Structure 1
Amino acid sequence: MNNNNLFFHASIYLKGDNLEPAKLTSLLGITPSFSHSKGQRWRTSAGSEVVERTGLWAVTIKSETQVELTEALETLSRQLSANNHIIAEMPGIEEAYLDVFIAAHTDANGECDCEFSLNEKSLSAIGKLGLPIKFTVTVSPADIA
């Protein structure tokens, strides 16, 4: 399988009913990829109203190679640890975690090998965040990509 069939996202998710996205952005010094407060309302493209059930602040780095995933994890760690805040203890945060998302497409035979590794530097950087890690892996046929 070639690298064109693998996609990686590394994201930090911070959630909480009392989470204030603007305050977190100010404290962390990073602009989130997306954020909202609990109760925030918006409309879908079909016109349905959605009311957010909890506050969310997230930053995501997307990559297409193993090397980029390693770099993305190190970059997230460096950005979020720059202010020496313990993320999980910041105001309004009830849940905080690192999510590593891996999407792979099968080859013409319907097969897929999906693996990744993290070097010592990446593991050390992740450890400094003090967050649990969730790994999400999805595999789909290449023809629906």
Structure 2
Amino acid sequence: MAEVHETAASLRFHGDDLDPEEISRVLGAQPTRCRKKGGIWITPSGKEKIARTGSWNFAAKKEPPCDLDKQINRIFSDLSDDINAWKVIASRYRGNIFVGLFLSSLNEGLTLSPTTLSAIGSRGLVLGFDIYSGDGKE
């Protein structure tokens, strides 16, 4: 089994009453992207949209080859290490580590270390994946 070609990872929180400034203050960093419910945001194609819910995103640099452990741990190292603060935020808002897996061929895979899995769980976060298929050519 070959390694996944490329990965992207981000920390995301969502909630109708989410205040991005509060999360930034508690976690100790500014988000990559955020919005309050009802706020206007611009899509990559330039279209204006109204946010249906509040969100706070903090993305790791997307990089090949795959090193998902490194990306997730980089996110956590840039933010507060106060686990109780994380649990409070995670109990109030829907929080996750969101991962994009970009395959270049069939049958690629990856693993995560117990340390990384523990760091995600201890913060009360869900781990989610979107998998983007390769072209199937070897």
Is TM > 0.5 for Structure 1 vs Structure 2? yes
Task: Give the direction of change, closer, same or farther, for the CA distance of 1:127–1:30 in structure 2 (3 Å limit).
Answer: same
Conservation of the 8 A alpha-carbon contact between 2:83 and 2:123: no
- Cα RMSD of the aligned pairs, angstroms, is 2.9
Amino acid at match of 1:126: I
- 1:36-62 deviations in Å (ceiling 9; x for gaps): 111111455766431110000011112
Conservation of the 8 A alpha-carbon contact between 2:38 and 2:50: yes
Amino acid at match of 2:22: K
Which residue number corresponds to residue 136 of structure 1? 130
Q: Which runs of 5+ in 2 are unaligned?
A: none
Aligned length: 136
Q: Distance in 2 between the 1:90 and 1:51 partners?
A: 24
- 1:53-92 deviations in Å (ceiling 9; x for gaps): 00000111123233x3111122223344513344353299
Which residue number corresponds to residue 68 of structure 2? 69
Q: Distance in 2 between the 1:69 and 1:114 partners?
A: 14
Which residue number corresponds to residue 115 of structure 2? 121
Amino acid at match of 1:31: Q
1:98 equivalent to 2:97? Answer yes
- 1:90-137 deviations in Å (ceiling 9; x for gaps): 29943111112101123xxxxx22200012222222232221111221
Q: Which runs of 5+ in 1 are unaligned?
A: 107-111
Larger Rg: 1
What percent of counterpart residues are identical?
A: 25
Task: Give the direction of change, closer, same or farther, for the CA distance of 1:53–1:119 in structure 2 (3 Å limit).
Answer: same
